Amino acid sequence: MRAYQLLLKILQVKLGLIISVDEEGEFAISDYISDSLMFIQFIVAIEEELGEDLPDDFLLFEILSSAKGFTEKLDFFITSQRNDSSIIHEHLNFTD
């Protein structure tokens, strides 16, 4: 699942928000996340969906100023996690 689609799913399904944008449309997530409690719910929902803890730089409220910027950062994180786990998996298979 692409990060942008994951973002919309979290906002709409988990947080119950109605987001009206075209596919890959730009919007400020902060327009929808109104307080710190909702922000934490948003981050936790993403972590639960990914099964991974997000790095601390995702905990800055400023990251919500751009949906595209956020999803690019999330895509990079997901890709790097997959690469890291495949390297570890290859190493474990090599040593068996």
Q: How far apart are CA 90 and CA 58, in angstroms?
A: 29
pLDDT of residue 47: 95
Q: How far apart are CA 39 and CA 30, in angstroms?
A: 9
Name the DSSP letter for residue 24: T
pLDDT of residue 34: 86
Task: Give every residue of the chain whose pLDDT is below 50, as ranges.
Answer: 87-92, 94-96
pLDDT of residue 83: 77
pLDDT of residue 77: 93
For domain 3-95, which CATH number applies: 2.40.420, 1.10.1200, 1.20.1740, 3.40.50? 1.10.1200
pTM: 0.79
pLDDT of residue 94: 47
pLDDT of residue 14: 93
